[in-house]
Amino acid sequence: MQKEVEHMENIYLDNAATTPLRKEALDAMMPYLTGEYANPSSIHPMARTPKDAVKHAREQIANVLNADPSEIFFTSGGTESDNWALISGAKMSVKKGKHIIISSIEHHAITETADYLEKEGFEVTRLGVDEYGRVRIEDLLEAIRDDTVLISVMTANNEIGTVEPIGEIGRIAREKGILFHTDAVQAFCHIPLDVKAMNIDMLSASGHKFGGPKGVGFLYIRKGIRLPPFMHGGEQENGRRAGTTNVPGVVGMGVAAEISSRDLASNMARVTEMRDHYIERVEKEIPYCRLNGHRTERLPGNVNFSFRFVEGESMLMSLGMSGICVSTGSACASGALDPSHVLLAIGLPHEIAHGSIRASISENNTMEQIDRAVDCLKGTVERIRSMSPLYDDFLKQQKV
């Protein structure tokens, strides 16, 4: 048994949790992990190369978003960018008001930061979503008040893959003079984005979600928005984010962004095809399942299904024995016994939310891997259901 497990090929379908580092990114990083170690903020000759490399990476990132390089601020990742945008965005506007709007399906980096702001005296409205996980524009319009200073709605959800109507939300926020932030960690380099066309004021992204390294990300801040610093202690990033620049990280992220955006259309087509094949097979071959999220307004790589009469944790264990690497809800939530706040927000009852499996596909996967994963999923669900007295009762009732 042990031997079999060791020799089995793992199938990685957890790209929403993190992606493998691209080889081109690693190659570009190597010099800055070795000989080119100088601090880009220094003024001696050895600082020149790292300084130029950071400048180039800033241009590579800005290009993907239709932004100006001066609007890109490097951070330690998506969590820091979200914290910075929300906390500093709220604080800079206290004279105007203390009301913030977020969606109820945000990543914990937003929901828990909003909880923190609430304790600090801000008022937070958490917009519900429809059964597909989309924010309703009518709800947003109703929630906006004279003292609303900040709206934060994610571009695409990390658990169910739903893509939000960001362009429309941006247009409303701009019209009303409200700061608009979007957590685009799952969307950046996965679907096309344009900060100008979408009226985005601030946007968070993270290197390790699109083939870059972990521990590096950025916050886009539109020119003219004087967002105060969040990290204090140095003049890096134009005085807005202190701390010695993570040169290898930034360089790797820049290369990953350039290559993934260059190949965006073909990757999207390939990944969407694998996603739709997965969805089609599960719906055809496994009874009593439910696709979570929107059928078309959906990230190319996301599949999230709930299966009745099975528990996500036992499915995860069983699939793991076959080398299938998937997730229940989000990686951050797994391990906790509470069902995902996202699945509850789209109206799933607790017991069904508990039986949910997310697969997140990338261009590194193959159709053969998808088929093997679905085969295993089917076998697992059948096996677990065959041991369930609830399922047995259910089948008996169906026959009556």
Binding residues for ligand PLP, how many (CB under 6 A)? 14
Active site residue 332: yes
**Which of 76-84, 92-100, 295-303, 350-358 is the region at the interface with ligand PLP (rule: CB under 6 A)?**
76-84
Instruction: Rule CB under 6 A: say whether 213 interacts with ligand PLP.
Output: no
Per-residue tokens: 181: 């932030």
Rounded CA gap, 250 and 314, in Å? 39
Q: Which phi-psi region, left, alpha or beta, contains residue 15 (left: φ > 0; alpha: ψ -120 to 50)?
A: alpha
- Beta strands 302-307 and 356-360 are antiparallel
Instruction: Rule CB under 6 A: say whether 186 interacts with ligand PLP.
Output: yes
Instruction: Rule CB under 6 A: say whether 71 interacts with ligand PLP.
Output: no
Q: Cα-atom radius of gyration of the chain, to the nearest Å?
A: 22
Nearest to ligand PLP of 79, 318 (CB atom): 79
Distance of CA 11 to the CA centre of its chain: 21
**Which of 64-72, 183-191, 267-275, 295-303 is the region at the interface with ligand PLP (rule: CB under 6 A)?**
183-191
Q: How many CB atoms are located within 10 Å of the residue 208 CB?
A: 23
Contacts 24+ apart (CB under 8 A), 172-180: 172/137, 172/140, 172/141, 172/144, 173/199, 173/201, 174/199, 176/144, 176/148, 178/144, 178/148, 178/149, 178/150, 178/151, 179/89, 179/93, 179/149, 179/150, 179/151, 179/225, 180/150, 180/151, 180/152
**Which of 40, 50, 78, 212 lies at the binding interface for ligand PLP (CB under 6 A)?**
78
Instruction: Rule CB under 6 A: say whether 183 interacts with ligand PLP.
Output: yes
Nearest to ligand PLP of 153, 353 (CB atom): 153
Q: How many CB atoms are located within 10 Å of the residue 159 CB?
A: 30
- Beta strands 202-206 and 217-221 are antiparallel
* Chain residue whose CB lies nearest ligand PLP: 78
From the CB of 327, what's the least distance to ligand PLP, in Å? 11
Residue type at position 50: P
From the CB of 108, what's the least distance to ligand PLP, in Å? 8
Nearest to ligand PLP of 208, 385 (CB atom): 208
**Which of 73-81, 300-308, 346-354, 381-389 is the region at the interface with ligand PLP (rule: CB under 6 A)?**
73-81
From the CB of 360, what's the least distance to ligand PLP, in Å? 10
Interacting residues with ligand PLP between 101 and 160 (CB under 6 A): 107, 109, 154, 158
Instruction: Rule CB under 6 A: say whether 162 interacts with ligand PLP.
Output: no
**Which of 19, 79, 111, 340 lies at the binding interface for ligand PLP (CB under 6 A)?**
79
Nearest to ligand PLP of 83, 125 (CB atom): 83
Instruction: Rule CB under 6 A: say whether 58 interacts with ligand PLP.
Output: no
**Which of 29, 151, 185, 345 lies at the binding interface for ligand PLP (CB under 6 A)?**
185
The answer to whether residues 252 and 216 touch, using CB atoms and an 8 Å cutoff, is yes
Q: How many CB atoms are located within 10 Å of the residue 139 CB?
A: 16
Nearest to ligand PLP of 112, 123 (CB atom): 112
Instruction: Rule CB under 6 A: say whether 217 interacts with ligand PLP.
Output: yes
Per-residue tokens: 15: 């790209």
Nearest to ligand PLP of 154, 381 (CB atom): 154
Angle value at C-alpha 103, between 294 and 271, nearest 5 degrees? 35
| Burial grade of 98 (CB within 10 A; 0-12, 13-18, 19 or more) | buried
Name the residues annotated as catalytic. 332
Binding stretches for ligand PLP (CB under 6 A)? 77-79, 82, 107, 109, 154, 158, 183, 185-186, 206, 209, 217
